[in-house]
A and B are shown apart, each in its own frame.
Chain A
Amino acid sequence: MTEAVATAQKREYWRWREYDWRDESLDWKRAGGISVGIDVGSVSSQAVVMCDGKLFAYSSLRTGSNSKTSAQRALEVALQETGMPREKVNYLVATGYGRVNIPFAQKAITEIACHARGANFIYGPTVKTVLDMGGQDCKAIRCDGRGKVTNFLMNDKCAAGTGRGMEVMAELLQIPIEDVGPASLSLPEEPPPVSSTCVVFAKSEALGLLRQNWSKEKVLGSFCLAMAHRTVELLSRVGVEKDFAITGGISKNIGIVKRIETKLGVEALKPSIDPQIAGALGAALFAKALYEKELSGNAKTGS
């Protein structure tokens, strides 16, 4: 095998970077309460550690075939270099697809409630509409100023318009997943959207378009446009009230975000914290509230 062939075969275009972060200036030993949220999604898993309601550390990794080990790994990576042992965690809430299979979580909460709560923390109380574009589903959520859900809609019957669909396209067109957004916007004018909403059919349609000599960028633009269109239809059912925010992995794809903004005529808020951790962040905030509730309950009964 020549070297060129070997490198081409090794390159995985869909593969996105795993990452972790921690606030070195925060001393966890002084914290009164440590709450953790773990979001085990279909594609990625996040763990968020909070000290007294302040963001302390987080990680975002790929979900494996086992929810329990994925959750464990996410927490381990978030806590590494902090010196905090896992036993110090006062309350742990799990969310996401794999939430029911995490034995060390005190409570499992649906990701819809967590995303609204997390978005409220990231973007502030003005957020009224949250669009969570996840790995395998898409949720349109309306919430109030405290991050409480008032109306929601979930599309989890089909992977079109999700992160997984994007991975498939990146691999097919051999464009690294981080470059998909900018590449799809590099066109002089918008192509017509692909007609299929199903990922499997969209893939064969994209192949057909490539055979008709469409450029990779044009095919991507066409796919992104179809994805944005589908999402906007979902949003229109719950209604869009300003301010509008997008969470989940796809919120980092400028090609999709720009197209959704154009279709809605509303600009999405710019995040101050990584919007992909919104679910786990919301879970950590619920963990804090539940821990405080437990403490006050114990105080009342005198135990």
Chain B
Amino acid sequence: MLANYGYKDGSGEYFIAIDTDKCNGCGACVKACPADVFEITADPFDPLAEKQVAVIKEDHRKKIKYSCALCKPTGERPPLPCTAACEPQAIAHSW
């Protein structure tokens, strides 16, 4: 399942998509993220499965643009810590 966390507003679209079919729940993103936006929980969108997956914390979902700003300087941008840390490549940013 592709879970899109974030929002769209007048200034653009800010979504982090987590592919739960690829995510193995290893938690590397949780450790890599300097803003602490990830957590590993039971998949909230598939209540009958027992798999643990990465999700974006509730309190970051409506301000993800600002939570992620630290890793997204204008100009030259280094690889994002979360996507770089994710071995199965389950994380994608829309902006």
Q: Which residues of A contact B (CB under 8 A)?
A: 107, 109-110, 112-113, 148-158, 197, 233-234, 237-238, 286, 289-290, 293
Give CA–CA (A197, B7) in the complex, Å: 14
Give CA–CA (A157, B64) in the complex, Å: 12
**Chain B 44-68 near chain A by CB (<8 Å), digits 1 or 0:** 1111100000000000001000000
Q: Is the CB of B1 within 8 A of A153?
A: no
The A interface is mostly helix, strand or loop, or mixed, namely mixed
Known contacts: A110-B44, A110-B45. The answer to whether A152 contacts B62 by CB under 8 A is no
Give CA–CA (A153, B1) in the complex, Å: 12
Inside 8 A of A157's CB, which chain B residues have their CB?
7, 9, 62
**Chain B 1-24 near chain A by CB (<8 Å), digits 1 or 0:** 111100111100101000000000
Q: Top 4 closest A-B pairs, CB basis?
A: A151-B2, A157-B7, A153-B4, A109-B47
Inside 8 A of B15's CB, which chain A residues have their CB?
153, 237
- Extra contacts besides A150-B2, A152-B2 (13): CB < 8 Å: A107-B47, A113-B45, A113-B47, A148-B46, A150-B1, A151-B2, A152-B4, A152-B45, A153-B4, A153-B15, A154-B4, A156-B7, A237-B15
For this complex, 10 residue pairs linking A to B, each with C-beta atoms less than 8 Å apart, are: A113-B47, A149-B45, A151-B1, A151-B3, A152-B3, A152-B4, A155-B8, A157-B9, A286-B48, A290-B47
Most buried by A among B3, B4, B47: B47
Inside 8 A of B7's CB, which chain A residues have their CB?
155-157
Inside 8 A of A289's CB, which chain B residues have their CB?
48
Inside 8 A of B10's CB, which chain A residues have their CB?
197
Which B residue sits closest to A140, measured CB to CB? B4
- B46 CB contact (under 8 Å) in A107, A149, A293: A149
Which B residue sits closest to A93, measured CB to CB? B47
Most buried by B among A148, A238, A286: A148
Most buried by A among B9, B13, B48: B48
Q: Is the CB of B8 within 8 A of A156?
A: no
Give CA–CA (A168, B47) in the complex, Å: 35
Q: Is the CB of B4 within 8 A of A113?
A: no
Which A residue sits closest to B44, measured CB to CB? A110
Give CA–CA (A156, B8) in the complex, Å: 10
CB distance from A294 to the nearest CB of B (A): 12
Give CA–CA (A110, B47) in the complex, Å: 9
Which B residue sits closest to A117, measured CB to CB? B47
Give CA–CA (A34, B1) in the complex, Å: 30
Inside 8 A of A109's CB, which chain B residues have their CB?
44, 47
CB distance from B35 to the nearest CB of A (A): 19
Which B residue sits closest to A114, measured CB to CB? B47
